[in-house]
Amino acid sequence: MRDWRRHLHRHPEFGFEEQETARFVVERLRAFGIDEIETGIGGTGIVATLRKGDGGRTLALRADMDCLRMQETTNLPYASSRPGLMHACGHDGHTTILLGTAAVLASEGGFDGTVRLVFQPAEEWGQGMKAMIRDGLGSRLAFDEIYGLHNKPGLPVGSFETRPGAFMGAEDGFSIVVRGRGGHASRPQDCRDAIVCACAIVGELQTIVSRRIDPAELAVVSVTGIEGDNIKNAIASEARIEGDCRHFNDDVSHQLEAALRQVAQGLAAAHGCEVEIQYERVFVPLVNDPAATEHGLNAAATVFGAEHVDGDAPRMGASEDFAQALKVAPGAFFNIGNGDSAPLHSPEYDFNDAALVPGVEWFVELVRNRLPVGQSGA
């Protein structure tokens, strides 16, 4: 598994471009003796099906395959060979864990029913799971429950956490284009400075959470980019603001959007400018099914020991495309420890190979608990 993971790390591919990754996954699955494999699900996704016994229930396990558009700075021997692309979120590790799970279940069995092994593309920008669902995941390729995991830097290897209900936030992306009137930098009186207007908007956006949203609700508004005409001696005619909002429910989402539009339009009018606003709901909140959460926690306690399992972890503002799968069937999502590593989405990040075996052991235990030999798996 370490060799597989490092191969994937060295050859990262962005969302919906995971052609080589998909071929690597399929080659491994066939080597394990799994021949019921569907490719091209959601573009580059894979669903492999493993059947044992005559049990009627189906469990789905999911891993993500895509990388981020980042330049790696680890200088590791297996660092990314592709400039501007790297596995900065550990999807190479997640894919490897699911491959290891497939190898164990195919060779050892120990369950009665059907397991769908879901290798998802394009998680990072929130499009892959929806694409797989459009191609039949959850309908033609049906399942009764679905489970996934993600590594967490700072959580010790061999530790495990989640919570029932809302666990990870939604992400709404926004862009605000400010259009003014440009001109010579020496004659601001002839212009409508788009940069000055954009800066005023950025400053006022910081008051939305503190003055428009109930303090009992989690909400975040982050401006992550701003740019203008970028001409040193000319006042900008146009400026663009980009960012995202995080929350846990639709009411807050609509409050955030309404406030953002009011702020941008009002300040644009005050500065004699115009604005164009786009607000897109990219990730939905990830809400764990309570019963499925308990099943995952029970398996984790068996594998890691109850003292290393936290079933009441804090909610996370980060988003996860797995949330779309929880609209199709009950399931739950979990964090597994990555130890003392660089943060996710850092150019210095690397998945901890010591977490591979614990991840496999948890998935295998979960499958055998939910699809027990000789029982219904209720």
Q: Is 124 annotated as a binding residue?
A: yes
Residue 375 confidence (pLDDT) above 80 = no
In the block, residue with structure tokens 């370490």: 2
Amino acid in position 287: V
Q: Taking Cα atoms as reference points, which of 81, 42, 83, 49 lies closest to residue 65? A: 42
Q: Is 89 annotated as a binding residue?
A: yes
Q: Which of 216-230 are b and which e, b meaning 16 or more Cβ less than 10 Å from the residue's Cβ?
A: eebbbbebeebebee
How far does Cα 261 stand from its chain's mean position?
A: 27
Residue 378 confidence (pLDDT) above 80 = no
How far does Cα 348 stand from its chain's mean position?
A: 19
Catalytic residue chosen out of the listed positions 92, 123, 145, 289: 123
Exposed/middle/buried for 302, CB within 10 Å: 0-12, 13-18, 19+? middle
Domain extent listing, the chain: 2-166+286-370, 170-283
Catalytic, 64? Answer: no
Q: Are 347 and 88 in contact (CB under 8 A)?
A: yes
User: What's the rounded Cα separation, in Å, for the pair 273 and 267?
Assistant: 8
Which percentage of the chain shows pLDDT scores above 70? 99
Token pair for 285:
């909140």
Neighbour tally for 260: CB within 10 Å: 23
Q: What is the pLDDT of residues 161-177, one digit of tens each?
A: 999 999 999 999 999 99
Q: What is the pLDDT of residues 243-272, one digit of tens each?
A: 999 999 999 999 999 999 999 999 999 999
Q: What is the pLDDT of residues 292-318, one digit of tens each?
A: 999 999 999 999 999 999 999 999 999
Average pLDDT over every residue of 184-198? 97
| Residue 374 confidence (pLDDT) | 82
User: What's the rounded Cα separation, in Å, for the pair 89 and 323?
Assistant: 17
Q: Are 199 and 268 in contact (CB under 8 A)?
A: no
Q: Is 345 annotated as a binding residue?
A: yes
Amino acid in position 210: S
In the block, residue with structure tokens 């699955």: 29
Q: Is 254 annotated as a binding residue?
A: no
User: What's the rounded Cα separation, in Å, for the pair 229 and 108?
Assistant: 62
How much is the pTM? 0.92
Average pLDDT over every residue of 113-126? 97
Q: What is the dihedral of CA 302, 159, 249, 205, to 10 degrees?
A: 180
Average pLDDT over every residue of 140-156? 98
Q: Does domain 170-283 have CATH number 3.30.70.360?
A: yes
In the block, residue with structure tokens 């394990």: 32
| Residue 377 confidence (pLDDT) | 47
Q: Is 91 annotated as a binding residue?
A: yes
Average pLDDT over every residue of 42-58? 97
Residue 355 confidence (pLDDT) above 90 = yes
Catalytic residue chosen out of the listed positions 13, 18, 64, 66: 66
Catalytic, 350? Answer: no
Q: Does domain 2-166+286-370 have CATH number 2.60.40.10?
A: no
Neighbour tally for 314: CB within 10 Å: 9
